[in-house]
């Protein structure tokens, strides 16, 4: 059994993040309240630094490095928001960051990571194993490996978004949270069970990759092939070990949303709330809309997890919907 973080760790993370992370706005829309038939509050992590909640976990984890670790720096493997979060956090804390990315990672993501001062090392994702490369660099160069979700400090940092939400709006009847490897959901669970113990807590993952739902229902971590979905931030093959232990204990259920539902939610965010939200960030609203009957008349929270999407792709998705896979 891994050592699990607690709500006290979320509080400690909030202290470390104070003054560096944004306290993101909680927004509402009368129009969306009408469409869902409930009072809906949105915690807007698409407006967090580097465009996603991942800054919270990364900065919290790197803040805890000792001097030797700071000198050698951090290494991670990711092509998504975690890479940018690590690069920016390392720059803030004045330490070197190495990010292992596939040779065919989107140019915009490589550019963003380099823009935050990260050193990018590429690998061929068809012939090489990114975890092995990350671990080798960690061993050979004394760097500390910080994975994207399966880590107590990452989970505690991600839990600070829900901590802020409950501080601002009080208790809720239900809360919908995007789910990939489970860093955000596990951290949110720690805050929810402390601050709003009766709130129903739902993880929401892409329908094409329902490993979280399968895991919760079968009682063990289920691993699947990397799913094909527009929700690239949640296209993970399995939940982390720490994450699953907390999710199994504290989360009511895991729901799914289809790519079509994500695009519909993305359009609503743009048209109604003037918010740019990436497909993965739309999982919570998509599930709340699908569950109208269960949440009718209630106070409902939705975590909007991120807003990083190439504008060309965003425009195409809004205009044409997801392309058939």
Ligand X SMILES: *Cc1c(COP(=O)(O)O)cnc(C)c1O
Residue 108 falls in the annotated catalytic set: no
- Computed over its alpha carbons, how large is the radius of gyration of the chain? 18
Q: Which of residues 128-187 bind ligand X (CB under 6 A)?
A: 149, 158, 178-185
Q: Is 109 in the active site? A: no
Q: Is 79 a binder of ligand X (CB under 6 A)? A: no
Q: Which is nearer to ligand X, 116 or 149 (CB)?
A: 149
* Span from 19-27, 118-126, 276-284, 312-320 in contact with ligand X (CB under 6 A): 276-284
Interacting positions 204-233 with ligand X (CB under 6 A):
233
Measuring CA to CA, which residue among 96, 99, 95 is closest to residue 113? 99
Catalytic residue among 89, 215, 238, 305: 305
Residue 79 annotated to the active site: yes
CB of 276 to ligand X, least distance (A): 12
Q: Is 130 helix (H, G, I), strand (E, B) or coil?
A: helix
Cα separation, 41 vs 211, in Å, equals 27
Give 200-257 as a DSSP string: EEEEEEEGGG-HHHHHHHHTS----PPP--S-GGG--SS--HHHHHHHHHH--EEEEE
Residue number, 134 or 178, with CB nearest to ligand X: 178
Answer positive or negative: Cα dihedral of 209, 58, 283, 324.
negative
Q: Which of 78, 79, 191, 215 is catalytic?
A: 79
Q: Which is nearer to ligand X, 172 or 179 (CB)?
A: 179
Is 305 designated active site?
yes
Distance of CA 65 to CAs 53, 54, 72, Å?
20, 18, 10
Q: How many binding residues for ligand X (CB under 6 A)?
A: 22
**Among 205, 259, 261, 278, which one carries the catalytic annotation?**
205
List of residues contacting ligand X (CB under 6 A): 52, 54, 80-81, 149, 158, 178-185, 233-234, 236, 278, 280-281, 305-306
| Catalytic (active-site) positions | 54, 79, 205, 209, 211, 305
């Amino acid at each position: 059994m891994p050592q699990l973080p607690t709500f006290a760790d979320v509080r400690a993370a909030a202290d470390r993040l104070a003054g560096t992370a944004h306290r993101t706005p909680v927004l509402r829309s009368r129009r969306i309240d009408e469409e869902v038939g409930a009072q809906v509050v949105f915690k807007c992590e698409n407006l967090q630094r580097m465009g996603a909640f991942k800054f919270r976990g990364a900065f919290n984890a790197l803040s805890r490095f000792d001097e030797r670790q700071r000198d050698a720096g951090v290494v991670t493997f990711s092509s998504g928001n975690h890479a940018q979060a690590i690069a920016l956090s390392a720059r803030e804390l004045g330490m070197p960051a190495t990010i292992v990315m596939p040779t065919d990672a989107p140019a915009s993501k490589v550019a963003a990571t380099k823009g935050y001062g990260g050193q990018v090392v590429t690998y061929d994702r068809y012939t090489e194993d990114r975890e092995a490369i990350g671990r080798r660099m960690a061993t050979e160069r004394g760097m500390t490996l910080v994975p994207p979700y399966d880590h107590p400090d990452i989970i505690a940092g991600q839990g600070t978004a829900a901590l802020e939400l409950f501080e601002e709006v009080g208790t809720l009847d239900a809360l919908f949270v995007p789910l990939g490897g489970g860093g955000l959901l596990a951290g949110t669970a720690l805050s929810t069970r402390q601050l709003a113990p009766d709130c129903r807590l739902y993880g929401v993952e892409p329908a094409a990759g329902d490993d979280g739902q399968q895991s919760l229902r079968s009682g063990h971590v289920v691993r699947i092939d990397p799913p094909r979905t527009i929700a690239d931030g949640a296209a993970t093959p399995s939940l982390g070990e720490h994450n699953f232990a907390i999710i199994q204990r504290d989360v009511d259920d895991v729901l799914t949303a289809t790519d079509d539902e994500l695009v519909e939610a993305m359009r609503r965010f743009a048209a109604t709330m003037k918010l740019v939200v990436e497909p993965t960030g739309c999982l919570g609203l998509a599930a709340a809309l699908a569950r109208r009957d269960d949440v009718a008349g209630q106070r409902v929270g939705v975590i909007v997890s991120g807003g990083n999407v190439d504008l060309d792709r965003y425009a195409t998705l809004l205009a044409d919907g997801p392309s058939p896979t």
